[in-house]
Amino acid sequence: MERSQIRGLARLLLRHPERRDEIRRKVTENTQIKELCDAYEAACEAAEYWSRSSDPIAPARADEYRELAAATEEDILHAISLL
């Protein structure tokens, strides 16, 4: 797994400790979940970046990326439930 995939997976595991074993097992079985973990990490990093920015558009961008991260998290959990 790439570093960003590992970081995305780690974030997901922190948010869902009750499902850690299941998530770890299934992420190794499915390339799509690894790619979603990468996208999840990118969205989380972007949300963090914009939340620290003083740019006038920053609050709106941070919200957009938080929504994207939440939607990606849902996609990951859905993909895991299908396996």
For the stretch 57-68, pLDDT in tens is 999 999 999 999
Identify the band that residue 70 occupies on the pLDDT scale cut at 50, 70 and 90: very high
pLDDT digits (tens, 9 = 90+) for 2-59: 999 999 999 999 999 999 999 999 998 899 999 999 999 999 999 999 999 999 999 9
Centroid of chain to Cα 47: 11
| Residue 24, H or E segment | helix 20-29
End-to-end CA distance of the chain: 19
CB neighbour burial string for 51-67, b if at least 16 within 10 angstroms, e if fewer = eeeeeeeeeebbeebbe
Instruction: State which amino acid sits at residue 81.
Output: S
Centroid of chain to Cα 50: 16
pLDDT at 22: 93
Predicted confidence (pLDDT) at residue 83 exceeds the cutoff of 90: no
